[in-house]
Amino acid sequence: MSKIKVGVVGTGFIGPAHIEALRRLPNVEVAALCEVSQELAESKAAQLGIERAYTFEELLKQDDIQSIHICTPNFLHYSQSKAALEAGKHVICEKPLAKDLAEAEELVELAAKTGLVNAVHFNLRYYPLARQMRVMREKGDLGEVYSIIGSYLQDWLFYNTDYNWRLEPDKSGDSRAIADIGSHLMDIIEYITGLKTVAVMADFNTIHKTRKKPLKPVETYSGKMLQPEDYADVPINTEDHANVLLRFDNGNRGVITVSQVSAGRKNQMKLEIAGSKKTFAWNSEAPNEMWVGNRDGYNQTLTDDPSLVYAEARSVISFPGGHNEGFPDTSKQMFREVYEAVAAGKQPENPTYPTFADGYRELLICEKILESNRKQSWVEV
Ligand SMILES: NC(=O)c1ccc[n+]([C@@H]2O[C@H](COP(=O)([O-])OP(=O)(O)OC[C@H]3O[C@@H](n4cnc5c(N)ncnc54)[C@H](O)[C@@H]3O)[C@@H](O)[C@H]2O)c1
């Protein structure tokens, strides 16, 4: 069997997670990577056991590379996705798809014109119980959605000495916590419930108005090693914390809170979706259990067991019940679906995986959230 050859762009935190997930697929070979410089690319290639190392421009010239994974800081997603599509490559881009809506719109149009496979790595959809919640809603088990409470909390930017490119709007975009982790939340809420967000009312807070920027580069999550003399003071103008009220197209309401300064919360997305028949509650830090609340009769706990979930959710579970799956498995399951499309050579009519159009949708909501925070009033989506 000839394997589909893949090139990965950017190998900081999430690039190696893509590589590991891709290596678990039987029909894919991670053949090459690229980095900011040829030198860094070569050292990363040696470290990650990948044969070929290039600059971005050189990578795109490789005729045998069929698909490209964009795992760079947000400001590069647009130009790199565009160049990869123009070079005839299928593209799997990290979230958020672009820095702003205009860029995302152009990418959606270009991808549609080429017919190439396009996907955005909203991998949290691929927790099996996220799929199960969606399928239960589709089959009518949840009933009409009455309300949604969502949160995404982290603590890796808790101290004013914590620093990353995400704190700089020219690299991250005008939003930080909402664009970085709120993006997953906005995507998964619409994915599970099938509702559309039609209006938002946002209130942001920047806890650390000044942060200490390291005078040498640090990769995501690795800033804890520096000493006081290694920093310079910089003003911060993006949100550490955001509350957003949501109105949905069924007339009902929700609320989300996003924070990157919640001590002890490492990477916790929580959802509570109350319907006319049941309530679902789920937490990404304990992803193999889901609480099902009933007004009449006992509440229930559903575990991530292929024999207990609907067949549509079973397809994203690889192990029997009790053999816990987690964050790395989400990317594997998503890429499995994406690479079925790559093997067929084109974007299917109704992809099961998140596409550039979903990336556009999330950016649209994000942009309205920013506008609402600026105006301190409701904004329609
Ligand atoms: N889906 C998820 O769960 C998830 C998780 C983390 C990050 N992300 C997304 O992944 C992207 C990268 O985040 P990260 O945390 O890995 O960042 P990072 O800073 O750890 O890594 C970025 C990498 O890109 C490289 N790079 C920079 N410019 C480049 C260029 N011109 N060409 C090639 N490589 C270049 C850097 O050298 C670095 O190795 C972001 O858009 C982020 O939103 C998604």
pLDDT in tens, 192-209: 999 999 999 999 999 999
Q: How far is C-alpha 340 from the chain's CA centre?
A: 20
pLDDT digits (tens, 9 = 90+) for 11-59: 999 999 999 999 999 999 999 999 999 999 999 999 999 999 999 999 9
72 lines ligand 1 (CB under 6 A): yes
The pLDDT, as a whole number, for residue 229 is 79
Beta strands 90-93; 28-34: pairing state? unpaired
Closest residue by Cα to atom 6, ligand 1, is 14
Write the CB contacts of 286 (distance below 8 Å, at least 6 apart in sequence).
none
9 lines ligand 1 (CB under 6 A): yes
Closest residue by Cα to atom 25, ligand 1, is 10
pTM of the model: 0.95
Q: How confident is the model at residue 223 (pLDDT cuts 50, 70, 90)?
A: low
DSSP calls for 215-282: SS---TT-GGG--GGGEEEEE--S-SEEEEEEEETTS-EEEEEEES--TT-SSEEEEEEEESS-EEEE
35 lines ligand 1 (CB under 6 A): yes
11 lines ligand 1 (CB under 6 A): yes
Question: How confident is the model over 93-122, as a mean pLDDT?
Answer: 97
pLDDT digits (tens, 9 = 90+) for 279-325: 999 999 999 999 999 999 999 999 999 999 999 999 999 999 999 99
275 lines ligand 1 (CB under 6 A): no
Alpha helices per DSSP H over the chain: 14-22, 38-48, 56-60, 77-86, 101-114, 128-138, 169-172, 177, 183-193, 311-314, 327-344, 356-375
Distance 16 CA to ligand 1 centre (A): 10
Q: How confident is the model at residue 222 (pLDDT cuts 50, 70, 90)?
A: low
Q: CA of 302: how far to CAs of 64, 137, 145, 188, 296, in Å?
A: 45, 15, 20, 19, 17
d(CA 71, CA 30): 14
pLDDT digits (tens, 9 = 90+) for 139-170: 999 999 999 999 999 999 999 999 999 999 99
12 lines ligand 1 (CB under 6 A): yes
Closest residue by Cα to atom 38, ligand 1, is 12
Query: 14-22 and 327-344 are packed helices; what angle lies between their axes, rounded to 10 degrees?
Result: 60
Distance 7 CA to ligand 1 centre (A): 14
Closest residue by Cα to atom 31, ligand 1, is 36
180 lines ligand 1 (CB under 6 A): yes
Distance 172 CA to ligand 1 centre (A): 11
10 lines ligand 1 (CB under 6 A): yes
